[in-house]
């Protein structure tokens, strides 16, 4: 008996999915599987908001597969064991997936590929989540770029990213392989159910992603030069969809190079540049595997972080610092699973510089609460703010949240969405000027150490 397994991971879509295409072309029945691997050593457990997203996304994917005569098989366990068992259950002689770039995931995938190949089973992987795989954009000495601008210049000089593949209209019959009930994975919060704000804000799944891209291009792209104003709907909101691969960067890239009105075309390069930051962070993660744990610039290992008391951290987590922009951002995050980029910068800087708290504590909070929590983008941006990344903000750049508010939310439109005007506000928890100086002194101490 022949047949194929398509193992979907961070690519929960039917369109532009090379692994799915290969599985179809393989012939025979087709098993489309998602594995919840919370057992392989070194896999970082998903945060709460990401679990919520995954549940919704898998539901949407299964519905799309069923519409085309297939279905999604869910299995839980260490991926090598699960895939091995699934091959035995289905008699498949081909297994296909799109590549992942995290260090642990790469090792798992390489092990599975070698084991399958040894047994004469076709095992093939494809590029689908990044426009440029991390080993393809290198400097003249064959090394990874450490600074974004030359990286972006080099990437743009590469051949154009391939065109996206169409969504298959029908799919081969599924095998008889059985799987888990999604509900048994308990990805949704129950006691309490804190996901109301997430449900209001998001439509996970491939359809939601495609609609968002179209809406963005039609209605917001022309305002992208105002993307730093958090009250404006001037950005795409595509990050969680990209995180879970409900839309591929190839689809986004080619939409932005496709039919656009002149006023939209003007903003396309700025938008693609942001998209390229996602690529750059993945390159950095590929070449610096401990990105979420270790300072890229090792001199920061000697940084004298404060061991902040829990009640201070709680004020930051829950948006009661007494600084409007910080509090609005942290509440937006807690409620909706997202935060505007400009406000992410301000809240992160507040934690790392004013509160002098190790960036890894903030990274972990964001990891738990963001729907777009992404191993490379989250850690890469935290290291950028902390000054410990390769291409990072210079440490002495301390965002002043009050000045940021004046600049980017002058009329308090954003702040009022999350911090009611009549709320009794706590006193500011710290003095901005003093803590800025304390941060600069700490930086000096580190440099001298
Ligand atoms: P748009 O402006 O519409 O940009 C389009 C796409 O480009 C985004 O969806 C995203 O994939 C990418 N992008 C945009 N800005 C950045 C950036 N600065 N770095 C990397 N990619 C970018 N982004 C994540 O996807 N996941 C994270 O976990 C994450 N954590 C962050 C933590 C901190 C401390 C900071 C400062 C930023 C973080 N970002 C993260 C980057 C950025 O804030 C979000 O990608 C952006 O706010 C998403 O909104 P959007 O989709 O409307 O962006």
* Per-residue pLDDT reduced to its tens digit, 211-225: 999 999 999 999 999
Please give the span between the terminal C-alpha atoms of the chain, in angstroms, as a whole number.
66
Is 53 close to ligand 1, i.e. is its CB under 6 Å away?
no
Average pLDDT over residues 369-375: 98
User: Which pLDDT belongs to residue 80?
Assistant: 98
Please give the class, per CATH, of domain 130-161+207-287: mainly alpha
User: pLDDT by residue (tens digit) across 131-164?
Assistant: 999 999 999 999 999 999 999 999 999 999 999 9
Mean pLDDT, the chain, rounded, equals 97
pLDDT value at residue 396: 83
> Residue 322's pLDDT is what?
98
The owner of tokens 């942001």 is: 274
Convert the pLDDT of each residue in 296-311 to its tens digit: 999 999 999 999 999 9
- pLDDT bin (cut points 50, 70, 90) of residue 395 is confident
Q: What angle do CA 423, 427, 432 make, to 5 degrees?
A: 125
pLDDT at 64: 98
Measured in Å, residue 369 CA sits from the centre of ligand 1 at 14
235 Cβ closer than 6 Å to some ligand 1 atom: yes
Which residues belong to CATH 1.10.579.10 in the chain? 298-443
pLDDT exceeds 90 at position 392? no
- Ligand 1 pocket test, pick from 372, 387, 390, 399 with the greatest ligand atom count within 8 Å of Cβ, gives 372
pLDDT digits (tens, 9 = 90+) for 344-364: 999 999 999 999 999 999 999
Is the pTM value of this prediction over 0.85? yes
Q: What is the pLDDT of residues 55-84, one digit of tens each?
A: 999 999 999 999 999 999 999 999 999 999
Beta-carbon contacts of residue 131 (< 8 Å; ≥ 6 apart): 155, 161, 249, 250, 253, 276, 279
Residue nearest to atom 8 of ligand 1 (CA): 239
| CATH 3.40.50.620 placement within the chain | 3-128
378 within ligand 1 shell (Cβ under 6 A): yes
What is the DSSP secondary structure assignment for residue 353, as one 8-state letter? I
pLDDT band, residue 402 (cuts 50/70/90): very high
Residue 1: its pLDDT value, please?
56
Ligand 1 centroid to Cα of residue 151, in Å, is 18
In CATH, the number for domain 298-443 is: 1.10.579.10
User: How far is it, in rounded angstroms, from Cα 157 to Cα 420?
Assistant: 49
Distance CA 378, CA 82 (A): 29
Question: What's the pLDDT at 2?
Answer: 87
Instruction: Check whether 205 has a pLDDT greater than 60.
Output: yes
- What's the rounded mean pLDDT across residues 72-97? 98
281 Cβ inside 6 Å of ligand 1: yes
DSSP H or E stretch at residue 86: helix 79-90
CATH of region 3-128 = 3.40.50.620
User: Has residue 415 got a pLDDT over 80?
Assistant: yes
Structure tokens at 180: 């888990």
- Residue spans in the chain of domains classed CATH 1.25.40.80: 130-161+207-287
Residues 6+ apart with CB under 8 A from 270: 224, 225, 227
């Amino acid at each position: 008996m022949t047949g194929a397994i398509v193992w979907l991971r961070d690519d929960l879509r039917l369109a532009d999915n090379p692994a799915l295409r290969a599985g179809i072309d393989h012939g025979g029945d087709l098993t489309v599987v998602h594995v919840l691997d919370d057992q392989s050593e070194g896999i970082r457990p998903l945060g709460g908001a990401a679990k919520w997203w995954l549940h919704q996304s898998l539901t949407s994917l299964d519905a799309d597969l069923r519409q085309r005569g297939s279905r999604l098989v869910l299995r839980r366990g260490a991926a090598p064991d699960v895939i091995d068992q699934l091959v035995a259950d289905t008699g498949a002689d081909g297994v296909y997936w799109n590549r992942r770039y995290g260090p642990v995931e790469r090792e798992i995938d390489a092990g599975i590929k070698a084991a399958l190949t040894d047994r004469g089973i076709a095992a093939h992987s494809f590029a689908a989540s990044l426009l440029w795989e991390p080993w393809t954009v290198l400097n003249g000495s064959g090394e990874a770029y450490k600074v974004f601008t030359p990286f972006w210049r080099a990437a743009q000089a590469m051949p154009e990213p391939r065109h996206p593949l169409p969504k298959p209209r029908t799919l081969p019959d599924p095998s008889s392989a059985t799987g888990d009930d999604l509900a048994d994975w308990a990805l949704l919060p129950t006691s309490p159910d804190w996901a109301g704000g997430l449900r209001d804000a998001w439509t996970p799944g491939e359809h939601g992603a495609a609609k968002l891209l179209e809406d963005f291009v039609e209605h917001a792209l022309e305002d992208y030069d105002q993307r730093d104003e958090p009250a404006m709907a001037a950005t795409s909101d595509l990050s969680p969809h990209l995180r879970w691969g409900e839309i591929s960067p190839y689809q986004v890239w080619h939409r932005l190079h496709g039919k656009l009105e002149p006023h939209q075309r003007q903003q396309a390069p700025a938008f693609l540049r942001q998209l390229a930051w996602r690529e750059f962070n993945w390159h950095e993660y590929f070449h610096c595997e401990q990105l979420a744990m270790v300072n890229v610039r090792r001199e920061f290992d000697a940084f004298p972080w404060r061991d902040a008391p829990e009640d201070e951290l709680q004020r930051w987590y829950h948006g009661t610092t007494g600084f409007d922009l910080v509090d609005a951002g942290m509440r937006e995050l807690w409620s909706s699973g997202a935060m505007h980029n400009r406000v992410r910068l301000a809240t992160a800087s507040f934690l790392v510089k004013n509160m002098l708290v190790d960036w890894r504590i903030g990274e972990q909070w964001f990891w738990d609460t963001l729907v777009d929590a992404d191993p490379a983008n989250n850690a890469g941006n935290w290291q950028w703010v902390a000054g410990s990344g390769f291409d990072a903000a210079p440490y002495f750049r301390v965002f002043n949240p009050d000045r940021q508010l004046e600049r980017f939310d002058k009329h308090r439109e954003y702040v009022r969405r999350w911090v009611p005007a009549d709320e009794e506000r706590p006193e500011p928890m710290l003095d901005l000027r003093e803590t800025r100086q304390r941060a600069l002194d700490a930086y000096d101490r580190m440099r001298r150490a």
